[in-house]
Amino acid sequence: MCIALLTTAHPDYPFILLNNRDEFLTRPTAKAAFWPSPNDHVLGGRDLQRPEQGTWLGLTKQGRLACLTNYRESGAQIYGTKSRGGLPKAFLSLPPQSTQSSQEFARHMVEDVGVSDVGGFSLVFGRLSKRNIGAKNGEGLAIISNRTEDASATTWVCGKPGEVQGLSNSHFGDRTWPKVVEGEKRLETAVQEHVAAGSSKEDLLNSFFDILSTDTLPRRKHGQDWETYVYQLRNSIFIPRIGGEEVEHSSADKIAAADVGHNAKTDTGVYGTQKQTIILVDHDGKVTYVEKTLYDENGHPTDNDIQRHEFEIEGWND
């Protein structure tokens, strides 16, 4: 039950993104870092379980951003022949000198490559630049999903100031998910309070991690069946460790439409919020990218395992 929260409402940071990655805690995952060549312009974590080594969130030195949330569709086929993690990777790994626009990429993926044979997903992507994000007439970020039939159905967000958007494991705009509605409210409030107080960037980051750590998940009742309890995950921004015999025999898709790989041992076991990431971009295009890893490769809680990267987006003013 991953969640992405985005805003263009802060006067000092025209773009902000908050993300929780919820997964089986022992799924092999690389921490946020610049990728090996030839994709050393890409910053993000990587899913090491699948051979594609795709990602759920990444940002390039040139400002290309991609964020994936998997889509839980009841009664539908939940596995696809293509890796969902390969979708953001395809956008992020475009050559640094590429001039392909977000609209062109959306058309290529939907109409040429095809996304109907990919498990349920929503992909938010685009180029962060001074004129594209939080501007009066900015292009913003595109959202496509496995339901997008043609490029004309692409949704656009974060193209103007003052936006607060949320997305989880459902279609964009689904207001029946309490975690999305609550996340948007908390993000809007945190921005307003930070501006009013004139506090530091570190205070802002801390307030955002507090949002990502909001645990309102009802505890499982005695005798409650697993499928009924899984439905409750949409109520909480943060997912605490959950596990047991039922989880051992559940796929990640049955829990939150997570992308299932080939190693069953790491697609079973204890599940929860595995990583938390915050991206801030200021008016000069300076990026602050902070990732917290909450559990190690054995599923044990970590202590202050933080990856922090700062750089300036190339071509921010173009």
pLDDT digits (tens), the chain, 318 positions: 699 999 999 999 999 999 999 999 999 999 999 999 999 999 999 999 888 899 999 999 999 999 999 876 555 454 555 678 999 999 999 999 999 999 999 999 998 888 877 778 999 999 999 999 988 889 999 999 888 888 888 999 999 999 999 999 888 988 999 999 999 999 999 999 999 999 999 999 999 999 999 999 998 888 888 778 888 999 999 999 987 554 545 555 555 544 433 333 445 578 999 999 999 999 999 999 999 999 999 999 999 899 999 999 999 998
Give 306's strand partners: 292
pLDDT at residue 250, rounded to an integer: 52
CA 151-152-157 angle, 5° bins: 90
pLDDT at residue 205, rounded to an integer: 99
Q: d(Cα 184, Cα 272) in Å, to the nearest integer? A: 21
Q: In what order do the strands lie in the sheet with 64-70?
A: 29-34, 42-47, 57-60, 64-70, 121-127, 141-145, 155-157
Task: Provide the pairing of β-strand 141-145 with 3-7.
Answer: unpaired
pLDDT at residue 144, rounded to an integer: 94
Provide the token pair at 56. Answer: 């759920």
Other Cβ atoms closer than 10 A to 181: 13
Q: d(Cα 92, Cα 52) in Å, to the nearest integer? A: 14
pLDDT at residue 255, rounded to an integer: 54
pLDDT at residue 71, rounded to an integer: 78
pTM confidence score: 0.92
Provide the token pair at 270. Answer: 């204890």
Would you identify the CATH topology of the domain 3-312?
Penicillin V Acylase; Chain A (3.60.60)
Considering Cα of 97, then 35, then 103, then 150, what sign does the dihedral take? positive
